[in-house]
Amino acid sequence: MIIWFSGTGNTRYAAETLGKLLGDSDVRPFTPEMLREPDKAFIDCDPAHPLVWAFPTYSWGIPPVVEAVMSRCRFGEGALKARHVMLTTCGDDMAYTDRQWRRIMKKRGLRTAGAYALEMPNTYTLMKGFDVDPAGLAEKKLEAAPEALRRIAEAIKTDGRDILVRLSFSWAKSAIVYPWFKRFAMSPKPFHVNAGCTGCGTCARACPMKNIAMRDGEPVWGDKCALCLRCYHICPRHAVAYGKATDGKGQQLLK
């Protein structure tokens, strides 16, 4: 089984492609219900296939909503017997996301195999200096992805070595910045719309957490937010903003 969380489609694409390469048709998303109530989530699979956890890298770690399901869900017999594999997509640096994942798997008594990362177009736009990839770079990453996923599938089949996307200062990024980011930089409160909003509701329908309600023809954000930025990137009017941080920033959506 491949279970995926994806804001803007990169991880969904990676999970679905990997499912085809591994001959595993059980490729499914984390449901909004699981993400909103991780203690009630139940995960089981056919142990003949590895259980692949697929998610984007957030601030050099696992998205907190995914981490909560991993740490607190109940597992069926098949999931307890299966080999567990990690697949993360990132803009350019996963730092020690794999170590965080291995720690959780160990705590849960699960058998781990490889950890894999795939470089994909960047989607983070909420801080100064962070924007979508410059022209040409996203296309280059997307061109390279099929071959990179073929190598990852081969490594999973043969119990091969980890394939990681890691730059420098990984310890500081994952052990210091990640917890800070989780605590102080993930609030949905700054989300609002600008005058371009037509009230079409696309952002509300697309939210993987069901965190957006339409009120008086405008989206209103709740507090169960993954900060996946799907609402920001999917808006056909580019009308979703996050404080002033998104002023002049681009959009990037795969599907």
Sites of contact with ligand SF4 (CB under 6 A): 7, 188, 193, 197-203, 207-209, 211-212, 219, 221, 225-231, 235, 237, 239-240
Binding string to ligand FMN for residues 23 to 62, with x set by CB under 6 A, is what? ---------------------------------xxxxx--
- The reply on whether position 17 binds ligand FMN by CB under 6 A is no
Give residue 133's Cα distance to chain centre: 17
Per-residue b/e over 73-99, b at no fewer than 16 CB within 10 Å? bebeebbbebbbbbbbbbbebbbbbbe
Please name every residue paired with 90 in a beta bridge, in sequence order, or none if there are none: 119
Binding string to ligand FMN for residues 148 to 187, with x set by CB under 6 A, is what? ----------------------------------------
Cα separation, 143 vs 62, whole angstroms: 25
The correct pick among 1, 2, 3, 10 for binding ligand FMN (CB under 6 A) is 10
Extract the tokens encoding 200: 């079409």
The minimum distance between CB 228 and ligand FMN, in angstroms, equals 5
Cα separation, 161 vs 139, whole angstroms: 27
Q: Which residue has the tokens 């993400």?
A: 35
The correct pick among 27, 87, 164, 228 for binding ligand FMN (CB under 6 A) is 228
The item of ligand SF4, ligand FMN, none sharing an interface with residue 9, based on CB under 5 to 8 Å by kind, is: ligand FMN
CB 71 within 8 A of CB 107: yes
Chain residues binding ligand FMN by CB under 6 A are: 6-11, 56-60, 89-93, 120-124, 227-229
